[in-house]
Amino acid sequence: MATTRPEPELPTPPGRKPRRTAPPRQPLTQEFIVDTAIRVLDAEGLEAVTMRRVAQELGTGPASLYAHVSGKEELRELMLDRVAAEIRLPVPDPERWQEQLHELASEIRRVFTSHRDIAMVSMGMVPTGPHLLDVAEAQLALMRAGGVPKEIAGIAVDTLGMFLDAGAIEDTIHLTKAPPGADPWEYFQKYIGEVRAYFNALPPDRYPVVSGMVDELIAMDGEQRFEFGLGLLVRGIASYVEDEERPG
């Protein structure tokens, strides 16, 4: 039987291009898949994140992803949980619990809006991932440290979540409406100017209150509106505090 001799390493012959050495492919893992999906999300938004698209980014076929992720829905939930790991969590201080709850909500908004429309995944979803549960634990711990009754804290953490999700989604919508190359803030200001002109042109006999409050209706920018709404929620939660509910 003939034996095959190993091929020696030879230099590139004259007139030929040297062969490129392919970079070593990173092993396919769930973590690598989620990282890739988040890159697609940040660049193009949630709708672009499909199993096929992520597989293309990884240079493989969709079938190979199913060994690590059951499907698109699980992938999106894993993405949301990975994003939640970026949220900085406070150590509860009973004397500052309202301020800390406000700060934590602002931190959640900052992280969510930094990843396009990832908050769409959170809408209607019960948090089960470890990092999402860490956030829920921190919110509940702050409220309980401040003396908020359990039944109120249990409902309030959901109400806060809906407010934050909706706010983050609206922020993303405003940013993505701007045409390519346009400044999103300038584009939004132009839109608000058009809204002002429209409201001012409304027939006052049919809309007397709206037409008489145009300046007040569009007075605040997005940041101010968020702070106002969050303040309402936190003060509302605090109104249920009972001293006997304070732990310890």
Q: What is the mean pLDDT of residues 113-132?
A: 92
For the ranges 32-46, 113-127, 143-157, 170-184, the lowest mean pLDDT is seen at: 170-184
The first and second tokens of residue 28, run together, are 């396919």
Quick one: which of 135, 138, 139 has its CA closest to 112? 135
Q: How confident is the model at residue 70 (pLDDT cuts 50, 70, 90)?
A: very high
Share of the chain above pLDDT 70, in %: 89
Mean per-residue pLDDT of the chain: 89
| DSSP, res 205 | T
| Domains of the chain (ranges, CATH numbers) | 30-83 (1.10.10.60), 87-176+222-245 (1.10.357.10)
Tally Cβ neighbours within 10 Å of residue 142.
29
Residue 57 to residue 6: CA distance in whole angstroms: 35
Q: How confident is the model at residue 247 (pLDDT cuts 50, 70, 90)?
A: low
Percent of the chain that is helix, strand, coil (3-state, to 5)? 65, 0, 35
pLDDT reported for residue 22? 47
Q: What is the mean pLDDT of residues 62-70?
A: 94
The residue with tokens 């709850």 is 101
What's the pTM value of the predicted model, to 2 decimals?
0.81
The residue with tokens 């049919």 is 206
Helices (H), 10-149: 30-44, 51-58, 62-65, 72-84, 97-113, 119-122, 130-145
